[in-house]
Amino acid sequence: MKKLLFITSSAVLFWSCTKELTNKNTDPKNPTIVPSYTLFSNAQKNLTDVITTSDVNTNIFRLLAQQWTETTYTDESNYDLTTRNIPRQWWNVFYRDVLINLAEAKKLIPNDVPDAGQQKNELATADILQVLSFYYLVTTYGDIPYTEALDYNITQPKYDNAATLYADLLKRLDADIAALNTGSESFGGSDLIYGGDVAAWKKFANSLKLKMGILIADSDAATAKTAIEGAAPNVFTSNADNAVFAYLSSPPNTNPVWADQVLSGRQDFVVTTNIIDTLKKFSDPRIPLFFTVDQNGGYTGGEYGSSNNYAALSKPSATVFATDYPSVILSYAEVEFYLAEAAARGFNVGGTPGSHYTAGITASIEEWGGTPAAAAAYLALPSVSYATAAGDWKQKIGKQAWIALFSRGYDAWTEWRRLDAPNLILPVDAVSGIPLRFTYTFEEPLLNKANYQAAVAAIPGGQDVVEAKLWFDK
């Protein structure tokens, strides 16, 4: 009996010590098993942060669109992308922090979600965000790793042809739209954009399809027409549909621009003379919504690419710098400008170029807090009305889309690349022409040399330079 007791006690002691050692060697903040919905939420946050931040190590698109300019350190306004290796940061966030998270979430969803309908909705929603992420990458660099990009076993992934992979993204989007079923649940509260609203995701996917279709209207009109006309009946119809990521009023989930500029006490940016003078010329009601007043109580912008006096000039408004200012990923206003352009190109989307142009401007003014009456008065101006504004349809729509996309640098830059409106200037100290793409990261010729060289050879002119036009930019 004593012997049995001794053995039992020893066993208990051994189990207790083992359990204690196991607990102390386990980091509760870094679990080995992560639920799919956590990875999905994290991917949404990382995606929104990178397209929203004003950190010049990662996102300089407000500068490339010449809506903002710098005060003391002007390297990025003069197109120095290499000192901070900005292309590397943008590339890494999408591949490492967004796409991989979404890929892993998709692997786990079948095990985490027993209901077949909910599984399909969650897989489709995660895939839509992958499509959006690849959209950002391919429209930044051109040819990129795609079919082999997310396989851990492939250390040197090939670069896929931009036009070919873009066509595949549109096919994926069609499959995702077809898979979404409003009769089943989705991510619920883990979806930080639409709260698991499947109908909202269906509208978003169609609006993204419209956006992606219009991008290739000059390079592949037939594919563009099919995508645009298929999406148009099911896109956003009001600002209530906007894809918005709501930041919080306390760290760590605050507006990245607030963290970059206010919390850190920076005085790096003012707005440009280009955008302020454009709005002043048209007596735009968004002037006090976009900008702070200058030292004299008026509105004055800085010279793009030069040193500027922060205290003397207008800055982005307190709204843009607010702790909890939400990030808009895709808006009803931009959808209406895409429809205006589609109608101007002769595509069957319902309405006229003028009616969609008017709706886009109205939506933008109201999105920023302006009134319908202010929008109507603005649109009544001969210099603004679609019927009488100066220029062809590209210039009219391009300028107003660029205004509406204030502080959404990537989209404003892309609209300028497509439509060549408004006129942007080349700063005196520019180290290159106005960038039309990012160069590839420094690591690629070292770690993936053969595939990198093939990608560079495919660039018009065969050089990895920022001035090279991408396939859609005709």
Please state the domain extents for the chain.
36-234+439-474
Question: What's the first-to-final CA gap in the chain, in angstroms?
Answer: 91
Q: CA-CA-CA-CA torsion for 459, 463, 469, 474, nearest 10 degrees?
A: -60
For 365-398, what is each residue's pLDDT tens digit? 999 999 999 999 999 999 999 999 999 999 999 9
Closest C-alpha to 128, from 157, 98, 91:
98
The answer to whether 218 and 233 are in contact (CB under 8 A) is no
**Mind listing the pLDDT tens digit for each residue in 112-145?**
999 999 999 999 999 999 999 999 999 999 999 9
Cα–Cα dist 256/253, whole Å = 8
* Whether residue 7 has pLDDT greater than 50: no
Task: Residue 132: name the closest of 448, 441, 463, 411 by CA.
Answer: 411
- Whether the Cβ atoms of residue 274 and residue 422 lie closer than 8 Å to each other: yes
Q: Are 48 and 245 in contact (CB under 8 A)?
A: yes
CA neighbours within 13 Å on the CB side: how many for 12? 6
CATH code reported for the domain at 36-234+439-474:
1.25.40.390
The torsion of the CA quartet 400, 404, 408, 412, rounded to 10 degrees, works out to: -10
**How far apart, in Å, are the Cα atoms of 368 and each of 62, 245, 269?**
18, 16, 21
What is the mean predicted confidence (pLDDT) over 430-436? 98
pLDDT at 14 over 60: no
Q: How many whole angstroms separate alpha carbon 368 and alpha carbon 1? A: 82
How far apart, in whole angstroms, are the C-alpha atoms of residue 160 and residue 166?
A: 10
Instruction: Report pLDDT digits (tens) over 148-181.
Output: 999 999 999 999 999 999 999 999 999 999 999 9
**What was the pLDDT predicted at 33?**
73
List, for residues 192-236, the tens digit of each pLDDT value: 999 999 999 999 999 999 999 999 999 999 999 999 999 999 999
| Helices of type H across 142-197 | 162-179
For 51, 136, 255, 267, 324, the CA distances from 263, given in Å and listed in that order, are 19, 28, 10, 11, 13
Quote the CA–CA distance of 170 and 222 in Å, as a whole number.
Answer: 13
pLDDT tens digits, 56-102: 999 999 999 999 999 999 999 999 999 999 999 999 999 999 999 99
Partners of 70 in the β-ladder: 269
**Burial status of residue 399 (CB atoms within 10 A of its CB: 0-12, 13-18, 19 or more):** buried
Does residue 278 register a pLDDT over 70? yes
Task: Mention every residue, 6+ apart, whose C-beta is less than 8 A from residue 260.
Answer: 53, 54, 55, 266
Structure tokens at 242: 């906007």
Side-chain-facing half-sphere of 124: CA atoms under 13 Å: 30
Burial of 419 (0-12, 13-18, 19+ CB in 10 A): buried
pLDDT grade, residue 23 (50/70/90)?
low
Helix 36-52, helix 116-141: angle, nearest 10: 30
Distance CA 272, CA 269 (A): 9
**Burial of 158 (C-beta count, 10 Å sphere; 0-12/13-18/19+):** middle
Residue among 215, 124, 231 at smallest CA distance from 166? 215
- Return the ∠ at Cα 128 (arms to 125 and 132), rounded to 5°: 145
Q: Give me the mean pLDDT over the 316-332 stretch.
A: 98
pLDDT digits (tens, 9 = 90+) for 231-255: 999 999 999 999 999 999 999 999 9
In the predicted model, is pLDDT for residue 21 greater than 60?
Answer: no
Kind plus residue range of the DSSP H or E element containing 420: none
Residue 18: which pLDDT band, with cuts at 50, 70 and 90?
Answer: very low
**270 phi and psi angles, rounded to 5 deg:** -130, 170
Angle, to 10 degrees, between the axis of helix 393-404 and the axis of helix 353-367?
20
Contact by Cβ (8 Å): 162, 142? yes
Buried (b) or exposed (e) across 65-93, using 16+ Cβ within 10 A?
bbbbbbbeebbbbbbbbeebbbbbbbbeb
Cβ proximity of 209 and 202 under 8 Å = no
Residues 6+ apart with CB under 8 A from 306: 69, 74, 427, 428, 429
Which two tokens mark 33? 């098993």
Between 12 and 406, residue with greater pLDDT? 406
Helix (H) or strand (E) holding 328: strand 327-330
